[in-house]
């Protein structure tokens, strides 16, 4: 655990915490532009967080202590996720604590925590949202793991930093297995972050909402933590995508110069990714909730196919 490692680690974590709302804002702004709206501006998520933190919290009478703990758990889990996914550099002190499988575990932990919190109040929406969230997760988690596995098989390691180092250091080569994995990953990303076509982040329609149904009862600082954690989650997913599919530019071991370059490169990639996601979300329509398993099933299938292709073609 070198001092440099610790430094990059903390730097990356803080950057992630700060950049996450930015990315969400950028994504929403792009969507607005694509939909011919003016949009609330990139800084809107920051404003929202600030406002929520200042408010008085209102909690349902029937809430148990679990309900108040969950936002913190969620936030902590997402911090860990953001710190182990190499977005700026690969020399990360905490990366040894959790590898790709543990990353999926972190996401699962967060998902289960929020689902339990949703059920805690005992409203119709909470249970419904929890059930739907678990259903999506039931298929999305394996799909995500399949994607990660494909990458680990290529790099012969499940450590995220090693994966990135391997993928970035090889001379450019198109892995057919990664193509399948890429599609699967995109689908998982959309589903897991409550984006279209699985969920609509901008809607509170009872019949279709998933994520929003779970956090209905939260308010003020708790809601702020949850929203922040959600944006970190989206950020983490996007950086995973970057790390797996376009890893170039991430700083390698103890390299100050690389670090200096890494940040602008990362922001550029984020801007492109945000725009791309916004485009996709604009092009697709919200699916019926019962179609979600099919959507996720397809993602899972692509993930498995990616692995099979790797075994078949050795690449």
Partner 1 sequence: MNGLPMDLIVSAALFWIALGLVGLVAQKKPSFVRNAIFPLGALAGAIVAVSAFFSSGVETAVSFLGLPDLPFHLRLDSLSAFFLFILGSATFGISLYATGYFRNEEKHIGTLCLEYHVFLAAMTFVLLADDAFLFMVSWEAMALSSYFLVTTDHKIPEIRRAGFIYLLMAHVGAISILLYFGSMGGDYGFDAMRKTHLSGMQATFAFLLAFFGFGAKAGMLPLHVWLPEAHPAAPSPVSALMSGVMLKTAVYGLLRVLFDLLHMQVWWWGVVILATGLSTALFGAVFSAVQSDMKRLLAYSSVENIGIIFVGIGLTVIFKAYAMNSLAALALVATLYHCLNHAFFKSLLFLCTGSVLHATGERNLGKLGGLIHKMPWVAWTALIGSLAIAGLPPLNGFVSEWLLLQAFLFTPGLPHSYLNMLIPVAAAALVLTGAAAGYVMVKFYGIIFLGQPREEKLREAKSSGKWERAGFLWLAAGCVLLGLVPFFVIDHLAGVSNFLVGASLENRDWLFLAPISSERASYSPLLFLIVTLSAIGLAFIAVRRFYHGRVRREIPWNCGYPVWNARMQDTSEGFGQPIRQIFDPFFKVGRELPSPFDSKPRYSAKTEDKFWYWIYIPFGRAAEYFAGLFGKIQQGRILVYLLYNFVTLIVLLLIVQ
| 15-74 positions binding partner 1, by CB under 8 A | 53-54, 56-62, 64, 66, 68, 72-73
Q: Identify residues 261-280 at the interface with partner 1 (CB under 8 A).
A: none
77 near partner 1 (CB under 8 A): yes
**Residue 48: HSE in the Cβ half-sphere, 13 Å Cα cutoff:** 19
- Give CA 228 to chain center in angstroms: 12
290 near partner 1 (CB under 8 A): yes
Q: How far is the CB of 156 from partner 1 (least distance, A)?
A: 6
Bridge partner list, 31: none
Q: Return the closest-CA partner of residue 278 out of 202, 206, 171.
A: 202
Backbone Cα Rg of the chain: 19
Q: How far is the CB of 273 from partner 1 (least distance, A)?
A: 25
Kindly state the number of chain residues that form the binding site for partner 1, as judged by CB under 8 A: 82
Q: How far apart are CA 133 and CA 67, in angstroms?
A: 17
* Residue selected from 8, 29, 83, 90 as contacting partner 1 according to rule CB under 8 A: 83
CB 80 within 8 A of CB 94: yes
Mark the segment that binds partner 1 (CB under 8 A) among 18-26, 114-122, 242-250, 271-279: 114-122
Q: How far is the CB of 279 from partner 1 (least distance, A)?
A: 30
* Residue selected from 6, 32, 40, 109 as contacting partner 1 according to rule CB under 8 A: 109
Q: Return the closest-CA partner of residue 77 out of 52, 105, 53, 50.
A: 105
Q: How far apart are CA 245 and CA 237, in angstroms?
A: 12
**Whose structure tokens read 């196919």?**
305
176 near partner 1 (CB under 8 A): no
* Residue selected from 5, 21, 120, 234 as contacting partner 1 according to rule CB under 8 A: 120
Residue number, 172 or 290, with CB nearest to partner 1: 290
């Amino acid at each position: 655990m070198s001092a440099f490692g610790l430094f990059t680690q903390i730097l990356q974590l803080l950057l992630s915490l700060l950049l996450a709302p930015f990315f969400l804002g950028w994504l929403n702004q792009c969507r607005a532009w694509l939909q011919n709206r003016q949009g609330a501006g990139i800084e809107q998520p920051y404003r929202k967080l600030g406002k929520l933190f200042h408010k008085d919290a209102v909690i349902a009478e029937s809430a148990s202590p679990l309900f108040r703990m969950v936002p913190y758990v969620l936030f902590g889990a997402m911090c860990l996720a953001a710190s182990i996914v190499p977005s700026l550099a690969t020399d990360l002190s905490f990366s040894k604590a959790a590898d790709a499988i543990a990353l999926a575990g972190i996401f699962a932990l967060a998902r289960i925590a929020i689902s339990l919190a949703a059920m805690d109040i005992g409203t119709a929406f909470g249970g419904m949202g929890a059930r739907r969230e678990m259903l999506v997760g039931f298929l999305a988690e394996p799909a995500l793991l399949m994607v990660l596995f494909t990458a680990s098989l290529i790099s012969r390691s499940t450590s995220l930093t090693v994966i990135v180092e391997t993928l970035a250091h090889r001379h450019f080569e198109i892995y057919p297995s990664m193509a399948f994995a890429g599609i699967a990953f995109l689908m998982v990303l959309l589903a897991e972050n409550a984006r279209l076509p699985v969920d609509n982040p901008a809607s509170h329609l009872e019949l279709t909402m998933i994520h929003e149904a779970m956090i209905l009862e939260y308010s003020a600082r708790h809601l702020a933590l949850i929203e922040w954690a959600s944006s970190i989650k989206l950020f983490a997913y996007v950086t995973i995508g970057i790390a797996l599919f376009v890893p170039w530019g991430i700083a390698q071991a103890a390299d100050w110069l690389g670090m200096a370059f890494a940040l602008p490169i990362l922001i550029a990639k984020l801007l492109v990714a945000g725009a791309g996601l916004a485009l996709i979300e604009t092009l697709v329509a919200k699916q019926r909730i019962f179609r979600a398993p099919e959507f996720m099933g397809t993602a899972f299938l692509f993930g498995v196919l990616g692995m099979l292709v790797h075994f078949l073609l050795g690449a």
